[in-house]
Amino acid sequence: MPAGRVPGRKPGGGGLPPRVPRTEPRGGRPRPPARRPAPPRRSGPRRVRRRPARADHRIRVRVVRILLVIGLIATGVKLVQVQAFEAPALSAKSQRQRSATVDVQAVRGSIVDRNGSPLAFSVEVRTLSYRPQAMRKQWDQAAAKHPGQFDNYEAHSAKLAQRMQDVLGVDAHQMLAKLRSAAKFVYLVNNIDPSKARTITDEFPEVSAEVRAVRDYPGHNLASNIVGVANWRMDDPDTRNHNLHGLSGLESSLDLMLAGTPGHQVVDTEEGDDGVVIPGTVRQTQAAVDGSDVVLTIDGDVQYYLQEHLAAFAKKAGAHSASAVIMDAHTGEVYALANDKSFDPNKPTYDNAAMANPAVSNPYEPGSVNKVVTALASIEYGITTPTAVHEVPGQIQVADRTVHDAWSHGLLQMTTTGIFAKSSNVGTLELAQRVGPDRFSDMLKRLGLGQRTGIGLPGESPGSVPPRSQWSGSTFGNLPIGQGLSMTVLQMASMYQTVANDGVRVPPRIISAEVRPDGSRVQMPRPQGIRVVKPQTAITVRNMLRAVTQGAPYPNSGTAPQAALPGYQVSGKTGTAQQINPVTHTYSNSNYWITFAGILPADSPRFVVGIVLDRPVYTSPDGHSAAPLFHDVASFLAQKYNIPLSKTETPVVTLQLPS
């Protein structure tokens, strides 16, 4: 290139070369390309330009902001409403949803004898329950979701049934039938020992254990006709009353005293009423008040002896039934009250007939034991004396009735004592006629006949005595010899308690005291004594009745020498009452009530014993008198209570003068 030439400049040209647009700025950064010139306007109608998208975005933002503000305002209003105005109600509702009221059962009181030996008491047990439908669904779902890790319900229920058989001794097949049933809820087994129930529920938590109680009767049939039976009852709509309740006997009549008052407590649970109680959440507790213990006048040893020997004697005599009572001569306290048939309240089923208590509920015609009424009245009103002699024919006419003695005889010279010791119907009616119907009727009332004794045992019968206004001419030919009226063996013994207690009748009682839950002992009020006859009248009659057990050469032997107890003076009276034939409605010559009432000892009374046999085999050696049983009972009582021997022997008295 020639010197002086500049690159890019044309030779001979003047000035600078034409400027070339720079596409790359200094420093290496690219420059934007030059803007194209705007195209020339076209002629024609003007086109409307669209609003830019940026404007629509701004509107949406504004709308969203407005909605957010509205939402925040609504939320604030609701928050104020909930926290300020609805807070108490919602809090209470929440509390109810996670809280439950748990009933607290009261412990039923015990029944004990006069020595404190238990006749009935409560034992806490468990009842196991299950929810088959829910458990089947749960186990099958778990088995399907985790194959190999969980059993299906068939396998799980089989394991549970087998485990219950091993621990509880129940039949696995029966348990399996309940576990696999379509029911929502089933009871599996009742009355399980708490420790054994815990073994099952620890291994199988889905099994529920309800706290219950059972009544235990350690003597089994001992005094069962008196005590009765109680079992768990759930028939009351109020679940608080689901507890042990009496079905019969004192368990029933004293149910309120024994049952106590249930309580309750409020607790929080994990899942409401069906959840687990959260520890430490117990509140608003109303404590249960346990029932009171009841102390009876019964002596368990005496009761056992009387029950066993009465049943054996009734069987030996061929009697359909038998009842007996042993009573304190002065206080009227019942030491034993027995029937030949009893039941075991520990067993799950009971014989309704055996649960009855005929000693207080079944009246009978007493027969000659009722002659004590005439004896008391004739001595009280000065009509006769023990040694007075009476001419007693073989029969007597009373209105349209002809009454005979139990043995055939002509005119006899009998003392007053002899009339009752030899049980002469004719001689008794002669004395009763001198007493008169009005005074005789009054004596029946004083002795409590035709009235309940008020002993406190359920089902007590008042017996039956025709009102004086309804007596016919022949009525007074029946009542003095123990026909045409009825009484229970308890009422019969009460009559002789009057004689033993120097003329004061003390209504019998069998409940001695109440022992409250705090340990305080409340004695039951003793019945007020009722003066029936003067003391000397009762003593005279008691001495006259010693001759009943007198064994002497004919004709001075009484009707029950088998009742005599060596070393003791014994007063008593036999009875043989014809029963009504249900077909002919006349007195039977083969079916009898055989009775005996006795006082031990006669010179210092301690006990009164009453016995009745229903339709024994009268022709058998043991079927025509209850005196031998009295002898055995009196001998037992004398030994058990160390009753002192009588100071003098029973004197032998004249009953009938020689012809």
| 362 CB-near residues (< 8 Å, 6+ apart) | 321, 323, 356, 461, 488
Please answer whether residues 488 and 457 qualify as being in contact, where contact means their C-beta atoms are separated by less than 8 angstroms.
Answer: no
SS3 (DSSP) at 119? strand
Residue 512 a catalytic site member: no
111 membership: H or E segment, kind and range: strand 111-112
CA nearest neighbour of 550 among 604, 602, 489: 602
383 phi, psi to nearest 5 deg: -75, -30
How would you classify the pairing of strands 293-296 and 111-112? Answer: parallel
Using a 10 angstrom Cβ sphere, with 0-12 exposed, 13-18 middle and 19 or more buried, the burial of residue 522 is: exposed
CA nearest neighbour of 575 among 562, 559, 561, 558: 559
Beta bridge partners of 111: 120, 294
Please answer whether residues 226 and 335 qualify as being in contact, where contact means their C-beta atoms are separated by less than 8 angstroms.
Answer: no
Q: For residue 587, how far is the Cα from the chain centroid? A: 41
597 membership: H or E segment, kind and range: strand 587-600
CA nearest neighbour of 509 among 471, 458, 456: 456
Beta bridge partners of 413: 391
Alpha carbons within 13 A on the beta-carbon side of 109? 28
The DSSP letter of residue 240 is G
415 phi, psi to nearest 5 deg: -75, 165
CA nearest neighbour of 616 among 635, 592, 650, 600: 592
Please answer whether residues 434 and 476 qualify as being in contact, where contact means their C-beta atoms are separated by less than 8 angstroms.
Answer: no
Task: Give the whole-angstrom CA distance, residue 111 versus residue 39.
Answer: 122
Q: Single out the catalytic residue among 99, 248, 292, 368.
A: 368
Q: For residue 155, how far is the Cα from the chain centroid? A: 42
Please answer whether residues 461 and 347 qualify as being in contact, where contact means their C-beta atoms are separated by less than 8 angstroms.
Answer: no
CA distances from 178 to 202, 590, 651 (A): 20, 57, 76
Structure token digits, residue 536: 């000397």
How would you classify the pairing of strands 607-614 and 395-398? Answer: unpaired
In the block, which residue shows the tokens 């000693």? Answer: 359
Task: Give the whole-angstrom CA distance, residue 562 versus residue 605.
Answer: 19
153-168 vs 172-179: helix crossing angle, rounded to 10: 140
Instruction: Give the catalytic positions in this structure.
Output: 368
